[in-house]
Structure 1
Amino acid sequence: MPHRPARREELSGLPVDVAPRLLGGLLETSLPDGDVAVRITEVEAYHGRGSGEVADPGSHARMGPTARNATMWGEAGHLYVYLSHGIHSCVNVVCGPVGRGDGILLRAGEIVRGADVARRRREAKGVARTDRDLARGPGRLGDAVGLRHALHDGIDAITGEPLAGAVARLHLLDEPLMDVATGPRVGVAGIAGTSAYPWRFWIPGDPTVSPFRPGRGAL
């Protein structure tokens, strides 16, 4: 299906509205050790402070700007790359207006170019995966595309301006996918990980979509 470069204004809405639009899109990265393109198959929306009609207790931005989440409060189209459990670099697309802290986590995808590069990056951590699993989950996706916290946090995926030796570009489908599944977010604690927040979106039946697991205290 045809793609085109994403425009900043397309990412300016609420995360729950923008997130499904990313499905089927491509994140392309270029680093000294190689180039990779991942087709996005699963995402999660996270609202910033004051976004929408319902506060999001699962968002990194819920308590306001911090050194960790500073990128979230900036311009849409930049990538918020944060460290999860002190190990995994996870990639988020900043959306919404400046100063609101909105973001969309890239949970999973299919490596459509540079699978050999993605595999080397995974094997460097002592983990070899099938092609299906190379970017199946946010930590694996971060490994596969080669973006690292805090080295590449804030990289601009709209202009493709280099940062710390990396270039990232986001492309969207010309026509949004019509068949999109939605449900609770994965591994999010408390009510933010329940059906009260059906802010996880994925391509139904795609084998690269990660399995669901509830977070602590999510009923």
Structure 2
Amino acid sequence: MDKEAIRQQIVATANRRYATKKYDPTKHISEADWQTILEAGRLSPSSFGYEPWRFLLINNQQIRDDIRPFAWGAVNSLNGADKILIILARTDVTYDSDYVKDLVENIKGKHYSPTSAPSQHFKNFQERDLKLDSDRARFDWTSKQTYIAMANMMTAAAELDIDSCPIEGFNYAQMNDYLASKGFMDPTKWRVSVLVSFGYRDQPIKPKVRQPLSDIYQELN
């Protein structure tokens, strides 16, 4: 495929992606396609490469029924989407946390010390540059990063002619309490960031209406 064909494919995929409100419950995503979508999320970039996310797939009807009363924005997805993914964001990503130590040593295969130059650089970045001085502030920071992973998964799905919908319409406190009460997450380390559904639409894709590029793009010279 030449460069121009690639450009056209990228734009076509962006137009193909549509926030699906009505799914066909009889259609299912193949395991190969689903693993590809998950891999697109897993390989997403994150600040300092610390991957502050976790993906929870709702795999049974009881959980869908349980969250329905406080997930008003997910009702259409709950009724027909093949996959509903809950994306968690960590609240304990700090230079001296057990999580960072484990990731640096056991995933990245590097030496870890809280007094090392990389650790102190990360500490200054969080505390001086971003002013991350609370669990909530750190959650807000990591939650932004989960949206990168979600966007990559949604784009990958569109490439595979699979539909998706990002979902923020739910009561966050109730969702957090539910997941914690079921033992699906440790509330001292995780909070719900966003939901996203995947499946096959049962509605036409509407042409995208967006602001012109000239209204949102500026070159600084």
Could you state the TM-score of these two structures normalised by the residue count of structure 2?
A: 0.30
Structure scoring higher RCO (CA < 8 A, sep ≥ 6) equals 2
Higher share in strand: 1
